């Protein structure tokens, strides 16, 4: 039964308390322990991963020295025995029926390649009133209670799964894995302490382009722990800047970028103009939006 489903937790210098909460959520899953395995991928952390895994007989901790979330995920994919893979961040708490619901969806719908659901916030600090505008950049999402599905139509679908809690049919990863192993300049996603992103979106696009469907299933619910420092203006500005840059480069790599590239020499004057357009000096939200625009300019600049 252990070859049915694999839970993969890529991690880099995890917070011990948050990781413990993630593992407790997995320990409470309604799917029998014998029906799934747990793989923690240590992406070159400064200290060995210290976690109680004795409750899960099918578990292992593996190390990936190539820095970057993409490489950690790839290591997990290769180590996994399951035909269904679920990526869980080290600050995610899955609701008790998550694994069972995900497995059921794949068994009932053979065209599904990847699925996701709701990612609800657990704030460790008091969130500012303006934060909801930027929820998606914090991997928070609630698209309602209707099932949404999509297939490839040369656009990135709104209902596409996010990286937190994404469940994937292993066979649907074949083209993505081949791409990462053979191409240069792949999207490495989070790397060390950087805030770059796009790796999960890259996975979704490759799955869609291979002919599989993706879906938002409201029955899949996880709770995403958001540390207090991620609520600060400086962090959010850097996050939005980096993710905007990564987003443009991702779309360019798949040939679906709707914006024209710009000359490198125009980037700085565009940022100056945008400072006034967004009135970045007036408040925190405007400043964060301006940083997002700056990231977009950097992404659009011809290399």
Which residue ranges form the domains of the chain, and what is each CATH number? 5-226 (3.90.550.10), 235-300 (no CATH)
Q: How confident is the model at residue 174 (pLDDT cuts 50, 70, 90)?
A: very high
Q: pLDDT tens digit string along 61-88?
A: 999 998 888 899 999 999 999 999 999 9
Q: Which pLDDT score, from 0 to 100, does residue 131 have?
A: 95
At 193-225, the pLDDT tens digits run 555 567 899 999 999 999 999 999 999 999 999
Residues 289 and 278 sit within 8 Å (Cβ to Cβ): yes
Residue 181: band (very low, low, confident or very high) from pLDDT cuts 50, 70, 90: confident
Determine phi and psi for 268, rounding to 5 degrees. Answer: -65, -50
This prediction's pTM: 0.93
HSE (CB half, 13 Å, CA atoms) of 14?
25
Higher pLDDT, 51 or 290: 290
Place of tokens 């049915």: 4
> What pLDDT does residue 101 have?
97
In this prediction, residue 1 carries a pLDDT of 44
SS3 25: helix
- Which pLDDT value is given to residue 198? 78
Torsion of CA 73, 75, 77, 80, to 10 degrees: -130
């Amino acid at each position: 039964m252990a070859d049915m489903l694999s839970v993969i937790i890529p991690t880099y210098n995890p917070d011990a308390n948050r990781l413990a909460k993630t593992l407790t959520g997995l320990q409470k899953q309604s799917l029998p322990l014998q029906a799934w395995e747990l793989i923690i991928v240590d992406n070159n952390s400064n200290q060995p991963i210290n976690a109680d895994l004795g409750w899960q007989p099918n578990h292992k901790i593996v190390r990936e020295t190539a820095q970057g979330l993409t490489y950690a995920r790839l290591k997990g994919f290769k180590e996994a025995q399951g035909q269904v893979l679920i990526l869980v961040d080290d600050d995610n708490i899955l609701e008790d029926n998550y694994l069972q619901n995900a497995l059921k969806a794949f068994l009932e719908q053979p065209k599904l390649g990847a699925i996701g659901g709701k990612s609800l916030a657990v704030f460790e600090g008091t969130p500012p009133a303006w934060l909801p505008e930027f929820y998606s950049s914090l991997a928070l999402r609630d698209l309602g209670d209707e099932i949404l599905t999509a297939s490839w139509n040369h656009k990135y679908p709104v209902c596409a799964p996010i990286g937190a809690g994404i469940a994937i049919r292993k066979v649907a990863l074949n083209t993505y894995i081949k791409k990462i192993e053979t191409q240069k300049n792949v999207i490495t996603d989070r790397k060390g302490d950087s805030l770059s992103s796009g790796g999960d979106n890259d996975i979704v696009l490759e799955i869609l382009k291979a002919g599989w469907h993706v879906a938002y299933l409201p029955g899949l619910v996880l709770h995403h722990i958001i540390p207090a420092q991620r609520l600060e203006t400086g962090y959010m500005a850097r996050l939005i800047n980096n993710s905007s840059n990564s987003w443009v480069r991702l779309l360019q790599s798949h040939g679906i970028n709707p914006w024209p590239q710009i000359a490198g020499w125009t980037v700085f004057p565009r940022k100056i103009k945008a400072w006034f357009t967004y009135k970045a000096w007036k408040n925190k939200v405007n400043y964060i939006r301006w940083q997002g625009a700056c990231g977009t300019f950097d992404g659009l600049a011809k290399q």
